[in-house]
């Protein structure tokens, strides 16, 4: 039996591991390699430059800007779609009329491409006839023509809002599943003990949603790190690199400036951040699982 098992382990794992290894693991390792070279993307001649790429990062003003932006995005990711998603899930869990329709509406943005989402929101932010300015004009009485995406102060946040619009549905769905997994008995005990709605939420529901919260926050943060497509479409990192994130910065350095080695170095940093987050996520998940699992 054991021989049979051994054979089939290899037989079944061979293809997936090969594909994954060649096209994911090896490029990952290569990235680490390129980060210490000065390769420009097409020249077969390039040299080992040690850690100079990384040193360059430390003094790269654009990198710092991108890092700040990425952190802002991650922070927004932790707060915005999470709390909105939780609110929606709580509202929808009350068996209100048309819950299914509402759920679809909030969840719909997930199936749209980042390009489309970027497109849609670019129109909302359009200075002359975009929805946002139209509404503000109506409300304030005077013609409002602020160019949300073209001003450094608001460009990044405009993109983050658009991104949250899409991400909220995901958070909502995960929280809804978490809510249904709370045993009905516990809520009945709370009722018998005379808990008010708020007490019931704070003492019973919210703590028992901890596993879902961990997942939602982790997914949001990871997705924010990956957020490239929507940024590319809406601002391209502009104006004047003010809305650039690390992913975008990496892309620009590699494919616009042909500094592939440097770009690889940035991606190594990006990878490190991502892995740190994953590590935190798994650790938190295990802790939470032990309590509620």
Partner 1 sequence: MAQLALSNLRKSFDAHEVIKGISLDIADGEFVVFVGPSGCGKSTTLRMIAGLEAATSGGIALAGQDVTGLRPSDRGIAMVFQSYALFPHMTVAQNIGFGLKLKRTDRATMAAAVAKVAETLQLMPLLSRYPRELSGGQRQRVAIGRAIIRDPKVFLFDEPLSNLDAALRVQMRLEIARLHQKLRATMVYVTHDQVEAMTLADRIVVFNAGQIEQVGTPMDLYDRPANRFVAGFIGAPAMNFLLLHRAADHVEVLGLGQVHLPPDKASAVEIGIRPEHLAVTEPAPGALQAEIELVERLGAETYAYVRIENRPVSLTLRLPGETILRPGAKVGLQLDWTKAHWFEASGRRI
Partner 2 sequence: MANRFSPWPATIFTILSVLAVLFLLPTVGVLLSSVKTTREISMGDLWSMPATLYLGNFAEVLANPSVHTYFANTLLVTLPATAISITLGAMAGYVFAKLPFRGSNTLFLIIVAGMFFPPQVILVPLFRLFNGLGLIDTLYPVIIVHSALGIPICALMMRNFFATVPNALREAAIMEGANEWQVLIQIVLPLSLPALAVLATLQFTWIWNDFLWPLIFTQSDDKRTIMIGIVNLKGQYSVAWGVQGALSLVASLPTLLVFLFFQRFFIKGMTMGAVKG
Interface residues with partner 1 (CB under 8 A) are 183, 185-186, 188-196, 199, 203-204, 207-208, 210, 290-292
**Which of 136, 204 has the CB closer to partner 1?**
204
CA distance 174 to 214: 10
Least distance between partner 2 and beta carbon 155 (Å): 18
Q: Among partner 1, partner 2, none, what binds residue 292 when CB lies within 5 to 8 Å by partner kind? A: partner 1
Torsion (CA) 24, 30, 32, 38 in degrees, nearest 10? -140
Report H helices in 93-130: 99-107, 114-124
**Which of 23, 292 has the CB closer to partner 1?**
292
**Which of 41, 239 has the CB closer to partner 2?**
41
| Whether the Cβ atoms of residue 55 and residue 44 lie closer than 8 Å to each other | no
Least distance between partner 1 and beta carbon 9 (Å): 34
Q: Among partner 1, partner 2, none, what binds residue 186 when CB lies within 5 to 8 Å by partner kind? A: partner 1
**Which of 210, 274 has the CB closer to partner 1?**
210
CA distance 289 to 293: 4
* Sign of the dihedral defined by the CA atoms of residues 279, 284, 290, 293, in that order: negative
Least distance between partner 2 and beta carbon 115 (Å): 5
Least distance between partner 2 and beta carbon 135 (Å): 9
- 77: nearest Cα among 208, 220, 211: 220
Q: Which residues contact 254 (CB under 8 A, 6 or more apart)?
A: 41, 260, 262, 263, 264
Q: Among partner 1, partner 2, none, what binds residue 108 when CB lies within 5 to 8 Å by partner kind? A: partner 2
Q: Among partner 2, partner 1, none, what binds residue 195 when CB lies within 5 to 8 Å by partner kind? A: partner 1
Distance of CA 164 to the CA centre of its chain: 9
Longest CA span, the chain: 80
Q: Among partner 2, partner 1, none, what binds residue 268 when CB lies within 5 to 8 Å by partner kind? A: partner 2
**Which of 43, 203 has the CB closer to partner 1?**
203
DSSP per residue, 123-184: HHT-TTT-HHHHHHHHHHSS-----GGGSHHHHHHHHHHHHHHHHHHHHHHHHHHHHHTS-H
* C-beta atoms surrounding 255 within 10 Å: 12
Q: Name the 3-class secondary structure at 48.
A: strand
Q: Among partner 2, partner 1, none, what binds residue 287 when CB lies within 5 to 8 Å by partner kind? A: none
Least distance between partner 2 and beta carbon 61 (Å): 20
Q: Among partner 1, partner 2, none, what binds residue 185 when CB lies within 5 to 8 Å by partner kind? A: partner 1
**Which of 151, 283 has the CB closer to partner 2?**
283
CA distance 129 to 145: 9
Q: Among partner 1, partner 2, none, what binds residue 58 when CB lies within 5 to 8 Å by partner kind? A: none
* Sign of the dihedral defined by the CA atoms of residues 90, 93, 96, 100, in that order: positive
Least distance between partner 1 and beta carbon 184 (Å): 9
Least distance between partner 1 and beta carbon 212 (Å): 14
CA distance 211 to 184: 17
Least distance between partner 1 and beta carbon 290 (Å): 8
**Which of 117, 205 has the CB closer to partner 1?**
205
């Amino acid at each position: 039996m054991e021989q049979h098992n051994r054979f089939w382990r290899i037989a079944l794992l061979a293809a997936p591991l090969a594909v994954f290894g060649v096209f994911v693991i090896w490029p990952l390792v290569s990235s680490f390699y390129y980060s210490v070279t000065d390769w420009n993307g097409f020249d077969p001649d390039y040299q080992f430059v040690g850690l100079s790429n990384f040193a360059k990062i430390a003094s790269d003003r654009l990198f710092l800007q991108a890092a700040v932006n990425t952190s802002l995005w991650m922070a927004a990711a932790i707060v915005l779609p999470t709390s909105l998603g939780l609110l929606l899930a709580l509202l929808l869990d009350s068996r209100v009329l048309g819950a299914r329709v509402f759920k679809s509406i909030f969840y719909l943005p997930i199936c749209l491409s980042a390009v489309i989402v970027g497109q849609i929101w670019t129109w909302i932010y359009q200075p002359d006839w975009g929805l946002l300015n139209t509404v503000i004009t109506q409300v304030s009485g005077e013609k409002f023509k602020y160019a949300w995406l073209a001003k450094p102060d608001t460009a990044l946040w405009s993109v983050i809002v658009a991104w949250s619009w899409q991400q909220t549905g995901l958070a909502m769905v995960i929280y809804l599943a978490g809510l249904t997994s709370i045993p009905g008995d516990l809520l009945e005990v709370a009722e018998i003990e005379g808990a008010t709605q708020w007490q019931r939420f704070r003492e019973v529901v919210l703590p028992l949603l901890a596993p879902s919260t961990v997942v939602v926050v982790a997914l949001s943060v990871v997705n924010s790190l990956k957020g490239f497509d929507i940024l590319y479409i809406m601002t391209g990192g502009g104006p004047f690199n003010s809305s650039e994130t690390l992913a975008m910065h990496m892309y620009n350095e590699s494919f616009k400036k042909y500094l592939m080695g440097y770009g690889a170095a940035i991606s190594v940093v990006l990878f490190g951040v991502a892995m740190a987050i994953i590590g935190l996520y798994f650790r938190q998940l295990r802790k939470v699982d032990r309590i509620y699992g």
